[in-house]
Amino acid sequence: MNKGDLIDKIAEAAGLKKADAAAALNATLETIADTLKAGQKITLVGFGTFDVNYRAARKGINPSTQKEIQISDKVTVKFKAGKELAGTVDNKDLRTSLKAVADKKKKK
């Protein structure tokens, strides 16, 4: 699903015009980004938690050349699914189809 598809779903579920759904989604995403940029955590009970994480500089290996490289420090975004969301997606049908895809990739 892409952003346009999500806007369509929001508009349908909330009975909004697509333009209003797009404005609401854009405002939500902008607010999340601004809050994380300020170093604050966002917790949506039942859905999950967005947080920022500092990753220190470290040494790594370039897979093409096998030479050691220096990887600079950076701030990353973490998302931890809440129990309700995790429980919603953990169903037998989805597990079976994802396992089949993973098994197919292993064979290659």
Three-state SS sequence of 65-76: CCCEEEECCEEE
User: What sign does the dihedral 68-72-75-77 (CA atoms) show?
Assistant: negative
Pick from 54, 87, 91: nearest CA to 73: 54
Distances 83 to 40, 42, 80, 86, 99 between C-alpha atoms, Å: 21, 16, 9, 5, 22
Question: What is the distance between the alpha carbons of residues 65 and 92, in angstroms, rounded to a whole number?
Answer: 42
- Interhelix angle 18-37/3-14, rounded to 10 degrees, is 120
Mean pLDDT of 38-56: 97
**What is the per-residue pLDDT across 48-102, written as a single tens digit (0 to 9) for each?**
999 999 999 999 999 999 999 999 999 999 999 999 999 998 888 888 888 888 8
- pLDDT over 80 (residue 45): yes
Mean pLDDT of 4-25: 98
pLDDT at 104: 84
- pLDDT over 90 (residue 106): no
Mean pLDDT of 16-30: 98
pLDDT at 52: 98
